[in-house]
Amino acid sequence: GQNIDQPTEMTATEGAIVQINCTYQTSGFNGLFWYQQHAGEAPTFLSYNVLDGLEEKGRFSSFLSRSKGYSYLLLKELQMKDSASYLCAVISGGSARQLTFGSGTQLTVLP
Amino acid sequence: ETGVTQTPRHLVMGMTNKKSLKCEQHLGHNAMYWYKQSAKKPLELMFVYNFKEQTENNSVPSRFSPECPNSSHLFLHLHTLQPEDSALYLCASSFRDSNEQFFGPGTRLTVL
């Protein structure tokens, strides 16, 4: 079966750094996504990892370890607008390109 | 219009009503998806269409009926829904051989 775990909630302070962890057990692996979703809005793409290591994009970085079934999203220089739900999703491949999502981590950035 | 659009954005319906959700993508993609997002639960994939053909139906009840007349449009026809079907319904699209999916803003559905 497919199982993706991430913390339900996190709180951090403006200007700080926060790391959101994700662990997964899936049948098949073709990559891991992080999406950001503000309340009432569509999920928006943040990052995609298919090989082990760190991918950096501005204030956001994402890390993957396939052998450990583990990823994290690192947010630096937090801003108030970063308050959102962060969704970890694994793509299991095949012709259907099925994305399996975690429940999301609700991040609250405090002033 | 750009990206992926969905109408209506909000819908309230009774259990005996019939309604349809519409999704349109303006990205030239050839795969489209319906997801359900319930409170406190992960997004659940419902249906996948590749080149207008349904390739996945993740054990979705028959009261949800998808339709994909062309690669730019996707519908979800609803009839005799239950209150537990109340959720945010998200449409997404992608190129068939790409892993990145682009999401629409969703339709917030309430079943009374």
Residues 53-72 of B with CB under 8 A from A: 55-56
Assess whether pLDDT exceeds 90 at residue B59.
no
Across the interface, do A42 and B106 touch by the CB < 8 Å criterion? yes
pLDDT of residue A64: 97
**Closest chain A C-alpha to B40 CA, distance in angstroms:** 7
Residues of A in contact with B55 (CB under 8 A): 95-96
Residue from the list A30, A45, A96 with its beta carbon closest to the beta carbon of B48: A96
Arithmetic mean of pLDDT, A17-44: 91
Query: Residue B61's CB: how many other CB atoms inside 10 A?
Result: 11
Q: What DSSP string describes B24-57?
A: EE-S--SEEEEEEE-TTS--EEEEEEETTEEEEE
Q: Which pLDDT band holds residue A51 (cuts at 50, 70, 90)?
A: very high
Arithmetic mean of pLDDT, B37-52: 86
pLDDT digits (tens, 9 = 90+) for B86-104: 999 999 999 887 778 899 9
End-to-end CA distance of chain B: 32
Q: Pick the residue from chain B with its C-alpha nearest to A39.
A: B105
Residue from the list B40, B90, B105 with its beta carbon closest to the beta carbon of A103: B40
Q: What DSSP string describes A39-104?
A: TTS--EEEEEE-SSEEEEETTEEEEEETTTTEEEEEE-S--GGG-EEEEEEEE--TTTT-EEE---
**Is the model more confident about A21 or about B48?**
A21
Q: Pick the residue from chain A with its C-alpha nearest to B40.
A: A103
pLDDT of residue A94: 57
Q: Which pLDDT band holds residue A28 (cuts at 50, 70, 90)?
A: confident
Residue from the list A44, A45, A99 with its beta carbon closest to the beta carbon of B45: A99
pLDDT digits (tens, 9 = 90+) for A58-110: 999 999 999 999 999 999 999 999 999 999 999 876 545 678 899 999 999 99
